[in-house]
């Protein structure tokens, strides 16, 4: 429990030993499910937590309530990492009313088939308000940040923006670490596809006087808010944040890896900026996705396989495709001992993405890199940086 302002308390939970968030993202430092309580003439809970932390959350809530009863449960997002405890909360507190978007209310039976919400819900739309006494909550729709039913909530009294998944981050609150690193990995993997919708939310937020941002994951942002909003603006415009190159390779026996490392060294020597190298067979895929969006240039190096593309690269490109990757300059290296096919496959997938500038020609390695390949690699590095 942590005091955010005089009347607003953090009652979320740290999930430190979760193996994979959304059953796909490695979270070395866990994740927090944030929930807040506003104690005014009337009492409002903002979101619940994942069922893994339900018991802890109810205990925190009871303690923060100090014997009072909550009047409203504001549900900003129906994804189960925040909505899992809704029915149990409604059961425990019979006078509790659920406030959410029309679309969120329609989703309730998907998750709580046997619970009867009849007469206990209140739909809100863009600009609607809810007075708790001194605090007036103002609701703003944020569809597809990150599901269609999402809204954010602005507390006029304390100038707090409860921002749902926006401005969230991997990592428990008890672990002190740089915000941008894990917030960026979270953003591109979870909201990356929805840049336009994030832009729409930023536009709405720019009209509000915000003192603190209270997201559903990660720390409450209290100072220098322009820094966080600026990063979100860059990310959601699909602009590169960092001058640099991601060199991502998928290598079977090390020949492709050798070429990729060699090219990374050449790029570094030529002053390409930050260089990140990802072994797609072994690295955290979510981190490679993050770096692809972060840098302004990318090199893909892959082995040919079964007349196509070595699967770790295929997987990476499918991830980029589904996250709406765009607006970058990309160079390709393929390897093939008898019939190189990786370059063709990578190019075809990149060509389905928006505003990708492919550097030509593709450099072809046969088996292991030879002295005679160095010239082609140098030329590729120059062409990528041109
Ligand atoms: Fe943190 Fe989209 O749920």
Q: What is the DSSP letter of 217?
A: S
Exposure string of 163-199, with b = 16+ CB inside 10 Å and e = fewer, is: bbbbbbbbbbbeeeeebeebbbbbbbbbbbbbbebbe
Rounded to two decimals, what is the model's pTM?
0.96
- Nearest-atom number in ligand 1 for the CA of 150 is 2
Q: So what's the pLDDT on residue 1?
A: 84
pLDDT band for position 231 (cuts 50, 70, 90): very high
What is the rounded average pLDDT of the residues 240-254?
98
Taking the CA of residue 146 as reference, the ligand 1 atom at the shortest distance is 2
φ, ψ of residue 364 to 5 degrees: the values are: -110, 125
Q: Cα 48 to chain center, whole Å?
A: 20
pLDDT on residue 208: 98
Cα 80 to Cα 67: distance, rounded to the nearest angstrom: 28
- d(CA 4, CA 222) in angstroms, rounded, equals 9
Q: Would you state the pLDDT for residue 344? A: 98
Arithmetic mean of pLDDT, 200-205: 98
Average pLDDT, whole number, for the chain?
A: 98
Using the atom order of ligand 1, give the atom closest to the CA of residue 190.
Answer: 2
Work out whether the CA dihedral 63, 68, 74, 79 comes out positive or negative: positive
137 Cβ contact list (under 8 Å, min separation 6): 38, 44, 74, 129, 130, 131, 153, 154, 155, 156
Please give the distance, rounded to the nearest whole angstrom, from the Cα atom of residue 146 to the centre of ligand 1. Answer: 7
- Write the pLDDT tens digit of every residue in 119-157: 999 999 999 999 999 999 999 999 999 899 999 999 999
Determine the Cα–Cα distance for residues 155 and 171; give it in Å rounded to an integer.
26
pLDDT computed for residue 135 by the predictor: 98
> 216-243 in b/e burial notation, b at 16+ Cβ within 10 A?
bbbbbbeeebeebbebbeebbebebeee
Smallest CA separation from ligand 1 atom 3, residue: 79
pLDDT of residue 141: 98
Q: 78 alpha carbon to ligand 1 midpoint, in Å? A: 8
Q: How far apart are CA 380 and CA 386, in angstroms?
A: 10
Distance 183 CA to ligand 1 centre (A): 13
Kindly tell me if the per-residue pLDDT of 323 is higher than 90.
yes
Give mean pLDDT, residues 180-197: 97
Residue 375: the pLDDT is: 98
As a whole number of angstroms, the distance between CA 272 and CA 299 comes to 12
DSSP H helices in 247-309: 255-269, 285-294
pLDDT tens profile 60-109? 999 999 999 999 999 999 999 999 999 999 999 999 999 999 999 999 99
Report the 3 state secondary structure along 313-360: HHHHHHHHHHCCCEEEEEEEEEECCCCCCHHHHHHHHHCCCEEEEECC
């Amino acid at each position: 429990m942590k005091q955010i302002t005089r009347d607003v308390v953090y009652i979320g939970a740290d999930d430190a030993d979760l193996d994979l968030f959304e059953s796909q993202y490695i979270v070395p430092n866990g994740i927090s499910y944030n929930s807040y309580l506003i104690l005014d003439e009337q009492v409002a809970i903002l979101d619940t937590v994942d069922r893994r932390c339900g018991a802890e959350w109810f205990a925190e809530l009871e303690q923060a309530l100090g014997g009072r009863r909550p009047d409203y449960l504001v549900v900003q997002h129906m994804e189960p990492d925040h909505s899992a405890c809704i029915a149990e909360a409604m059961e425990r507190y019979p006078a509790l009313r659920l406030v959410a978007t029309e679309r969120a209310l329609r989703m309730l039976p998907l998750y709580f088939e046997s619970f009867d919400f009849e007469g206990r819900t209140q739909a809100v739309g863009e600009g609607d308000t809810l007075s708790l006494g001194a605090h007036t909550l103002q609701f703003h729709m944020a569809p597809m940040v990150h599901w269609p039913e999402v809204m954010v909530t602005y507390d006029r009294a304390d100038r707090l923006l409860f921002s749902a998944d926006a401005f969230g981050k991997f990592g428990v609150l008890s672990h002190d670490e740089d915000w941008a690193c894990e917030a960026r990995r979270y953003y591109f993997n979870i909201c990356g596809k929805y840049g336009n919708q994030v832009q729409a939310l930023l536009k709405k937020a720019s009209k509000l006087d915000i003192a603190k941002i209270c997201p559903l994951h990660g720390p409450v942002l209290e100072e220098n808010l322009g820094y966080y909003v600026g990063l979100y603006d860059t990310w959601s415009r699909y602009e590169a944040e960092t001058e640099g190159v991601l060199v991502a390779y998928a290598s079977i026996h090390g020949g492709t890896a050798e070429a990729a490392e060699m090219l990374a060294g050449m790029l570094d020597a030529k002053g390409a900026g930050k260089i990140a190298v990802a072994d797609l067979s072994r690295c955290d895929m979510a981190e490679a996705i993050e770096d692809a969006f972060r840098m302004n240039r990318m090199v893909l190096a892959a082995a040919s396989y079964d007349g196509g593309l070595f699967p770790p690269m295929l997987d990476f490109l499918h991830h980029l495709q589904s996250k709406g990757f765009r607006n970058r300059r990309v160079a390709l290296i393929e390897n093939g001992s008898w019939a190189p096919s990786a370059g063709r496959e990578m190019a075809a997938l990149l060509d389905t993405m928006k505003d990708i500038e492919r550097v030509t020609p593709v450099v072809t390695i046969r088996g292991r890199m030879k002295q005679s390949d160095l010239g082609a690699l140098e030329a590729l590095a120059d062409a990528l940086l041109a």
